[in-house]
Amino acid sequence: MPREPGDIPDALLRLALCPAAGPAFHHDALLRFGSFEGAVAASADELVGLGRTSPERAAEIHRGIRDADPDAEREAMRRAGLTAIALGDADYPPLLVPVPTPPVLLWTRGRAAACAEDSAAIVGARRATSYGEVQAARFSAALASEGIAVVSGGARGVDAAAHRAALRVGGTTVAVLGSGLGEAYPPEHAELYESIAEAGGLLVSEFPTHWSPLASNFPRRNRIISGLSLTVLVVEAGTSSGALITARHAVDDHQREPCALPGPVDSVRSAGCNAAIRDGWAQCVIDPEDVLAMIESSAERLRMPSAVRPDLAAIGVPAELRAATVRAAELIARRPRIGDDAIAADVGLAASEVAAVRTFAELLLATVASARAGRSRRTQTLGPRGRTSGNGQVQPIA
């Protein structure tokens, strides 16, 4: 379960609330001091160099840590109905763990397991054309209908079309915002965000509850969108758009293969997609089946069985064994002949618990394999436009 506000350590909140301390600083601090408590207790001089921090910025971070008010943030979270997931928690998105400098804390609202399912990002222009919005809805509806969680950034245009189409077909969608979850941004999407949370999707942010939507937030937001997804589909984007930055994160930093939808050669809003396809760093896709094939390939290549995580409670895993079950499943997927002793040593299990955890882990793997096999069979039996005839309305922290 995600953490309630009272379960978040003061030191972690102080660092997360400090505007001058970014992800690189957080990870360097944890590496140097061994804990966030150690980082918070450090002097300004001891912070120099962390995340390439200058003496001036180290002094700014030191002041920011002292000035932070964890209790006020907890109260703001309670009022907004938010929870949190810390790096190392069982609910932390498995696809996000291996990316460079993953967020140490995520503010969330909705169903946390939504970001542990097979997923694809659909991103694109805020000022989208009708072509971009229709195609975003078309791809999103088709993917969501196949059990793929559609991840996007909650922005106007392509993002909103993707979120809404996933909701219309009863699918799962995840909105990663570049501001705090306490106020909707853009404001006109307040109802959309309510619908996402109420429909079993998830709202996610790396930023505290009432953090403003500063321009510097969005590149950080983009890496999370990519990190949560097995592939990134760019539907419509100019040559310098944030959507292309998201796709570049996928290929450069996250070992994921992005894809792009071609557009008219004389369209400024499709120029980035067309150039990415021409230059060979994004795969050209024309049907949802193309994206499904990329998702299957990426899931297999990354060998991350927990990328599709059925409801562990529904398959009978006791709450106290769920984190161990997910980790054991990852070990068994990589080393099918791994012994019980090795599982126990890695996961930290007592000898009496190993047999049950292994059984649950193998059940989890079988459930995932069945879901993926069914999706692959449907993809192979449909024609080139088979799913597109619809209109698109169709490490732990204590």
Domain residues for the domain of 149 are 105-302
| Domain end (from 302, 326, 354) | 302
Which pLDDT score is estimated for 228?
Answer: 96
| Domain end (from 47, 68, 89) | 68
Dihedral of alpha carbons 142, 147, 153, 154, sign? positive
pTM reported for the whole predicted model: 0.79
CB atoms inside a 10 Å sphere around CB 248: 19
Instruction: Report d(CA 354, CA 274) in Å as an integer.
Output: 52
Provide the percentage of residues in the chain whose pLDDT is more than 90. Answer: 67
Start-to-end C-alpha separation, the chain: 14
* CATH code of the domain covering residue 176: 3.40.50.450
Predicted confidence band at 393 (pLDDT cuts at 50, 70, 90)? very low
Whether 39 and 132 map to the same domain: the answer is no
Which pLDDT score is estimated for 384?
Answer: 35
Over residues 262-284, mean pLDDT = 95
Determine if residue 179 is left, alpha or beta; phi over 0 gives left, psi from -120 to 50 gives alpha, anything else beta: beta
Over residues 164-182, mean pLDDT = 97
Check residue 3 and report its DSSP letter.
Answer: B
Residue 82 domain-assigned (yes or no): no
Which pLDDT score is estimated for 382?
Answer: 40
Whether 117 and 202 map to the same domain: the answer is yes
Residue 94 domain-assigned (yes or no): no
Which pLDDT score is estimated for 381?
Answer: 43
pLDDT exceeds cutoff 90 at 191? yes
Q: In this structure, what are the phi and psi dihedrals at residue 284, rounded to the nearest 5 degrees?
A: -75, 130
Domain count, the chain: 3
pLDDT top residue among 334 and 122: 122
Token pair in block for residue 271: 């120029």
| DSSP H or E stretch at residue 213 | none
Whether 273 and 317 map to the same domain: the answer is no
37-58 per-position pLDDT tens digit:
999 999 999 999 898 899 999 9
| DSSP H or E stretch at residue 355 | helix 351-381
Segment among 130-134, 178-182, 277-281, 335-339 with least mean pLDDT:
335-339
Instruction: Report d(CA 74, CA 13) in Å as an integer.
Output: 9
199-224 per-position pLDDT tens digit:
999 999 999 999 999 999 999 999 99
92-102 per-position pLDDT tens digit:
998 998 889 99
Instruction: Report d(CA 346, CA 359) in Å as an integer.
Output: 16
pLDDT exceeds cutoff 80 at 195? yes
Whether 212 and 248 map to the same domain: the answer is yes
